[in-house]
Structure formats: C-alpha cells, structure tokens
Amino acid sequence: MSAKPIVRMAEIEIDPAQLEAYRALLSEEIEAAVALEDGVLSLSAVAIKDSPHKIRILEVYADRDAYEAHLLTPHFLKYKNGTVGMVTSLTLVDVEPIAMAAEA
C-alpha cells in the first residue's frame, strides 16, 4: 500500500505595508523546499486579484512524514520566523484532491 499524499491549502493575509518583504521570503522558501526536499511534490503560491495581500498556497507532500519533515527544515523555519510580524491571518485547510495534473 502506498502512502497517502498530504494536500493543504494555506489562506494567508499579509500586512500590506510588508507585502514585498513577505513575497521575497515566501519565494525563497518555496524554491528551496522544492529543490531540496524529495517529499515536497508541489508548492504553488498565488495572490487574490485586486487583494494582493491575500495569499493562497497549495501544498502537496508525498505523505505525512514528508510534511512533518518540511516543518523542521532550516528554510521553512527561516520563512516562518521571518514572517511572524507580517502575517495578520493564517488558516490551514486540509483538502481532498479531485484532479491534479502537471506537465513535466
């Protein structure tokens, strides 16, 4: 039996005055996670049109162990600690994938 992937949606609101700095830290974290962690299958961040301070991140991990390992990596901890005063709201939503595809 194969491990079940973990898919989450992060709904984040950022202090608009700190949006540029937040986006830089987020981009750095996503690039590092995908490059360095085999268990991180996909991380995609988008902003709500006309509300750029409202960020949504779709996270796909190979399994629960990969997700938990991700939370302990230096690049995630740098992001988490560096953005603590920037994030005004954070909701993590576990989601069930219906259809997911990506071009290789």
Predicted confidence at residue 1, as pLDDT, reads 47
Cβ atoms of 96 and 6 closer than 8 Å: no
- Secondary structure class of 1 (helix, strand, coil): coil
Mean pLDDT of 63-68: 96
Degrees to nearest 5, angle at CA 55 with 53 and 61: 160
pLDDT at 84 over 90: yes
Predicted confidence at residue 101, as pLDDT, reads 84
Give the separation between CA 23 and CA 87, rounded to whole angstroms: 11
Domains recognised in the chain with CATH numbers: 6-85 (3.30.70.100)
Residue-wise pLDDT for 29-63, tens only, equals 999 999 999 999 999 999 999 999 999 999 999 99
Q: Report the length, in residues, of the chain.
A: 104
Q: Tell me which residue of 39, 48, 36, 44 sits closest to 67, measured CA to CA.
A: 39
pTM above 0.85, yes or no: yes
